[in-house]
């Protein structure tokens, strides 16, 4: 069995090029993880997701504990077999979904009691139960259970929440035990308060984790405030471990975070946009519902090599999206995920060649051009 390991191969400013080694294969960083919340990346076959260049996907404790249950997935051979994905899987702990989706939640030091957003049934999550679920799933990268501090919040509220998350982090570490072929990531909290983030990072480092996530961002604070936190938060965490910015994000969010030393990302945006008629390209987002595309024979992105852009016109995408055909969502999601993986590959190449600043400039210039007719 191969041990979890992280190696930094090059640095260009604060941007880092690395390799995460796992028992199920390597992950080149900076990396973007497609979101397969309920054991499925929506509108995609697993082999199609892999063909985009994805080396790891994310699934979610909260959703899988409700349906079909972690115990059932374990009995069926684990999450990798269940969803036909043989590469690494990271599972979120469920803390964010308890905050954002569940009804009538009650938080105590022991854990969280809540009602399911699906059918109103009563459930309980604690650090120990969250780790138990993730073990049953067979996750390669397990996230410790935390409370995602909402935004806006007062400093007193943020400190109270962060402190409890740090106590839960220790309990998560104890429940995880010694599993060298798997990894456990701690989650930094502290909202937008620098000193609270520092305290959180110190406590997590004291406990000791295989990687560290930056939590409590992309929850409504906006890009400017997020970047202000990222100007210091990554450097508060251990330098020799992977850093994961949870729930981010848009392409310019990712590039800005890489500039500040972040290694891993996940976001529902590319798949959700694909289901709502939006193509994400190097020139910006394109709304395929717009009638100007109905007679357009051009591909969505003339420079893209994905199957969608190689074989289908904007007119066809517009048609299928407007009449609600499933293939429209499939083709746009495939393109969007391909674009994200191509973006990450280009980011890695730029860092390797010490040309990341030039890459950022070129990225911004293309965004300024936009989706003009002559492209």
CB atoms within 10 A of CB 354: 14
| Sole residue written with tokens 């500040």 | 260
Judge whether residue 2 has pLDDT over 90. no
Residue 299: which pLDDT band, with cuts at 50, 70 and 90? very high
Judge whether residue 375 has pLDDT over 80. no
φ, ψ of residue 66 to 5 degrees: the values are -80, -45
> Which pLDDT value is given to residue 117?
86
Select which of 12, 140, 266, 301 is catalytic.
266
List pLDDT tens digits, range 157-199: 999 999 999 999 999 999 999 999 999 999 999 999 999 999 9
Mean pLDDT estimate for the chain? 96
Residue 251: which pLDDT band, with cuts at 50, 70 and 90? very high
Lowest mean pLDDT among 8-22, 200-214, 269-283, 359-373: 359-373
Give catalytic status of residue 371 as yes or no: no
Length of the chain: 375
How far apart, in whole angstroms, are the C-alpha atoms of residue 177 and residue 148?
A: 24
Closest to 372 measured CA to CA, from 294, 324, 309, 302: 302
Give catalytic status of residue 296 as yes or no: no
As a whole-number percent, the residues of the chain with pLDDT over 70 amount to: 98
Q: Are 65 and 123 in contact (CB under 8 A)?
A: yes
* pTM of the complete model beyond 0.85: yes
List pLDDT tens digits, range 22-58: 999 999 999 999 999 999 999 999 999 999 999 999 9
Residue 374: which pLDDT band, with cuts at 50, 70 and 90? very low
Judge whether residue 373 has pLDDT over 80. no
> Which pLDDT value is given to residue 372?
59
Select which of 92, 210, 253, 263 is catalytic.
92
Tell me how far CA of residue 131 lies from CA of 141, 146, 245, 375, in angstroms: 11, 11, 20, 50
As a whole-number percent, the residues of the chain with pLDDT over 90 amount to: 91
Judge whether residue 369 has pLDDT over 80. yes
List pLDDT tens digits, range 217-250: 999 999 999 999 999 999 999 999 999 999 999 9
The per-residue DSSP string of 122-184 comes to EEEE-HHHHHHHHHHHT-SEEEPP-----SS--HHHHHHHHHHHHHHHHHHHHHH-S-TTSEE
Judge whether residue 331 has pLDDT over 90. yes
Domains of the chain: 5-267 (3.20.20.105), 278-368 (no CATH)
> Which pLDDT value is given to residue 7?
98
Residue 96: which pLDDT band, with cuts at 50, 70 and 90? confident
């Amino acid at each position: 069995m191969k041990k979890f390991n992280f190696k930094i191969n090059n640095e260009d400013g604060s941007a880092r090029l690395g390799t995460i080694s796992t028992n199920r294969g390597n992950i080149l960083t900076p990396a973007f993880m497609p979101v397969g919340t309920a054991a499925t990346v929506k509108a995609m076959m697993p082999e199609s997701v892999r063909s985009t260049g994805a080396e790891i996907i994310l699934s979610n404790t909260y959703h899988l504990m409700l349906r079909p249950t972690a115990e059932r997935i374990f009995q069926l051979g684990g999450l990798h077999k269940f969803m036909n994905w043989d590469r690494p899987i990271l599972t979120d702990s469920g803390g964010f979904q308890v905050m954002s989706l569940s009804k009538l939640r009650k938080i105590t030091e022991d854990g969280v009691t809540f009602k399911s957003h699906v059918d109103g049934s009563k459930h309980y999550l604690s650090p120990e139960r969250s780790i138990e679920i993730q073990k049953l799933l067979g996750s390669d990268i397990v996230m410790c259970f935390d409370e995602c501090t909402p935004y806006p919040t007062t400093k007193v509220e943020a400190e109270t929440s962060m402190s409890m998350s740090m106590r839960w982090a220790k309990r998560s570490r104890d429940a995880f035990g010694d599993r060298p072929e798997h990894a456990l990531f701690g989650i930094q909290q502290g909202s937008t308060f620098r000193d609270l983030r520092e305290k959180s990072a110190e406590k997590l480092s004291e406990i000791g984790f295989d990687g560290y996530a930056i939590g409590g961002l992309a929850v409504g604070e906006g890009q400017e405030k997020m970047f202000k936190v990222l100007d210091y938060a990554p450097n508060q965490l251990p330098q020799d471990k992977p850093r994961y910015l949870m729930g981010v994000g848009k392409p310019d969010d990712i590039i800005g975070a890489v500039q500040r030393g972040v290694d891993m990302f996940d976001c529902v945006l590319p798949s959700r946009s694909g289901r709502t008629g939006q193509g994400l390209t190097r020139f910006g987002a394109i709304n395929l519902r717009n009638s100007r595309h109905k007679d357009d024979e051009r591909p969505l992105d003339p420079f893209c090599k994905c199957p969608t852009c190689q074989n289908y016109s904007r007119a066809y995408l517009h048609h299928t999206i407007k009449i609600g055909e499933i293939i429209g969502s499939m083709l746009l999601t495939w393109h969007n995920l391909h674009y994200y993986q191509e973006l990450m590959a280009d980011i890695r190449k730029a860092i390797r060649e010490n040309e990341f600043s030039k890459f950022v400039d070129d990225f911004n210039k293309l965004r300024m051009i936009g989706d003009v007719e002559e492209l």
